[in-house]
Amino acid sequence: MKPATFEYYAPASVDEALAILERYDGEARVLAGGQSLVPMMNFRLAMPRAIVDLNRIPELAYIEEEGELVRIGSMTRQRRLESDPLVAAKLPLLREALRWVGHLPTRSRGTIGGSIAHADPSAEIPMVLQVLEGEVVARGPQGERRIAAQDLFHAALTTSLAPLEIITEVRYPAMPTQTAYAVEEFARRKGDFAIAAVAVTLVRDGERCTKARLATAGVGPASIRLREAEAVLEQKGLSEDAVGEAADKAAAQVDPASDLNGSAEYRRHLTGVLTRRAVSRAIGPGT
Amino acid sequence: MPAEFEIRLTVNGKTYRGRCEPRRLLVDFLREDLGLTGTHIGCEHGICGACTIFFNGEAARSCLMFAVQADGAELVTVEGLAKDDVLHPLQQAFHEHHALQCGFCTPGMLIAALDFLATNPAPTEDEIREGISSVLCRCTGYVNIVKAVAAAAEVMRTAKSSEQGE
């Protein structure tokens, strides 16, 4: 199908974009990379009165380091992040996760901020924001505010962003050099939406695990942290038994739905399996 | 009725001007307004990859962009691959390895494979399978497509090294 008619604006600055959004009072949609919104418009699942296209705002595309933070402009393309040396050095988990995001031609256009604002339950980028405890910077009529990952994702396609706000920046604490990490995902075909995915980061001190972070995609209405599994690893270490217990906790914590791709029970099972695989691969063989 | 926009873009090295309403998809603009029907439309929601083109040097879905967004852009479509009636090495390899059956996915397959080979000039078979996974072939003729991409990769590497040797 073809999209319904809409008014089109391509502002040159965030201020200008915000002014247009305000003028349409909730009836305009922000267009980032378009890899989710345009299909919805082609199907007429989305019929906004106006489109505010952020693709002509160069100030929203950057990757910078500031102290212990990596700051990424919301319109930075996924493809650029994939090959960026700073991302490879400071956020290797994000780099690994990006390989699971759609395909190279969709990553050419898809942006980091667009994926987060869209908040698809099976998307990898929100999962990475959760596991790395990142935050977004949002600008709106009332000015600028920061929203932590744990306060951002409410339900499928639903965030705590206000209708007139735009994500301008995504921030991640740089991963400490010794962080072990892995992303494990199950999808029917490469590049398909995740049926289930788990991302993990681990900081170790000898036999102990001083910090464990785990988050999901595809197994609930929004990406969540697997806090009970994290607690098991932090309290009991990374023995096979502890990892098995963490996997059981992970499976028990999630609340997946059934659909054509898999039943709730199947997704719950996968959550446990992928948790065990992710932790095992992160810590590596022989440890 | 929303205002129409005047756009100017380069396709296969040639400059075009056109008018379009905002909802005009880039793929429809290429086919209907510019008459460049080599790029195909399949699913119209970014899944099948038949409409894949080069947008400013990178493969992208032309069904997931509005024509107005291509104002000032440089595009390459399947019509731009052959030079002076000589097939591109990848097209030649598709011909030799019978890598097309009905041919519907071929324009997207060629562009996606070229973009992939630019990021990975010496891929393994598994990497080729992953590299072309963004385009669906409903004839399921993947075996010969993979062969063709592998053969073209080798021809393109040899051509590049002999260029550098001269």
Q: What is the pLDDT of residues A45-72, one digit of tens each?
A: 999 999 999 999 999 999 999 999 999 9
Would you say A52 and A9 are in contact if contact means Cβ atoms under 8 Å apart?
yes
Lowest-confidence segment of A106-110, A180-184, A191-195 by average pLDDT: A191-195
Of the three residues A131, A155, A173, the one that is the final residue of a domain is A173
Nearest of B76, B31, B41, B40 to residue B56 by alpha carbon: B76
* Whether A223 and A268 share a structural domain: yes
Which residue from A3, A42, A105 is facing B115, i.e. has the nearest CB?
A105
Three-class SS state of A175: coil
Which residue from A8, A35, A105 is facing B59, i.e. has the nearest CB?
A105
Whether residues A8 and B130 touch (CB distance < 8 A) is answered with: no
* Whether A71 and A162 share a structural domain: yes
First-residue to last-residue Cα distance in chain A: 54
Specify the pLDDT at position A225: 98
Residue A275 within any structural domain of the chain: yes
The values of phi and psi at residue A51, to 5°, are: -115, 130
* Whether A75 and A149 share a structural domain: yes
In A49-108, the residues whose Cβ lies within 8 Å of chain B are 51, 53, 55, 79, 102-106, 108
Can you list the alpha helix ranges (DSSP code H) found in chain A?
Answer: 14-24, 37-42, 78-82, 85-90, 92-98, 104-107, 112-118, 124-131, 149-152, 227-236, 240-253, 264-283
- Chain A residues whose CB is inside 8 A of the B112 CB are 103-105
If one compares A4 and A286, the residue with the highest pLDDT of the two is A4
Specify the pLDDT at position A87: 98
* Whether A102 and A51 share a structural domain: no
Task: Set out the domains of chain B in order of their start, with CATH numbers.
Answer: 5-80 (3.10.20.30), 89-161 (1.10.150.120)
Q: Locate the DSSP E strands across B74-159.
A: 74-76
Question: Is residue A166 pLDDT above 80, yes or no?
Answer: yes
Query: Touching check for A188 and chain B: CB below 8 Å?
Result: no
Q: Which CATH number characterizes residue A74's domain?
A: 3.30.465.10
- pLDDT truncated to tens, each residue of chain B (166 aa)? 568 999 999 999 999 999 999 999 999 999 999 999 999 999 999 999 999 999 999 999 999 999 999 999 999 999 999 999 999 999 999 999 999 999 999 999 999 999 999 999 999 999 999 999 999 999 999 999 999 999 999 999 999 888 887 5
Tell me, what's the ipTM? 0.96
Specify the pLDDT at position B162: 87
Specify the pLDDT at position A286: 58
- Count CB neighbours of B2 within 10 A: 14
Of the three residues A173, A195, A227, the one that is the final residue of a domain is A173
How far is residue B131's CA from residue B43's CA, in Å, rounded to a whole number? 20
Residues 6+ apart with CB under 8 A from A174: A65, A68, A69, A70, A90, A91
The pLDDT-based confidence of A80 (bands split at 50, 70, 90) is very high
- Chain A residues whose CB is inside 8 A of the B52 CB are 105
Whether residues B22 and A109 touch (CB distance < 8 A) is answered with: no
Specify the pLDDT at position A67: 97
Percent of chain A with pLDDT over 70: 99
Residue B33 burial class via C-beta count within 10 angstroms: exposed 0-12, middle 13-18, buried 19 and up? middle
Taking only the tens place, the pLDDT of each residue in A96-141 is 999 999 999 999 999 999 999 999 999 999 999 999 999 999 999 9
Specify the pLDDT at position A1: 83
* Whether A200 and A259 share a structural domain: yes
Specify the pLDDT at position A192: 87
Query: Touching check for B126 and chain A: CB below 8 Å?
Result: no
At B132, the amino acid letter reads I
Structural domain of residue A19, as residue ranges?
Answer: 7-56
- Chain A residues whose CB is inside 8 A of the B5 CB are 8
* Whether A236 and A195 share a structural domain: yes
* Whether A153 and A213 share a structural domain: no
pTM of the model: 0.96
Would you say A266 and A173 are in contact if contact means Cβ atoms under 8 Å apart?
no
Residue A2 within any structural domain of the chain: no
* Cα B28-B73-A110 angle, rounded to 5 deg: 75
For the segment A238-255, the average pLDDT, to the nearest whole number, is: 97
Domain count for chain A = 3
Specify the pLDDT at position B40: 98
Would you say A251 and A174 are in contact if contact means Cβ atoms under 8 Å apart?
no
Max CA pair span of chain B: 59
Of the three residues A157, A173, A189, the one that is the final residue of a domain is A173
Three-class SS state of B104: coil
User: How many Cα atoms within 13 Å fall on the side-chain side of residue A163?
Assistant: 11
Q: Which CATH number characterizes residue A265's domain?
A: 3.30.390.50
* Whether A75 and A156 share a structural domain: yes
Mean pLDDT score of chain A, rounded to an integer? 96
Can you list the alpha helix ranges (DSSP code H) found in A91-199?
Answer: 92-98, 104-107, 112-118, 124-131, 149-152
* Whether A169 and A63 share a structural domain: yes
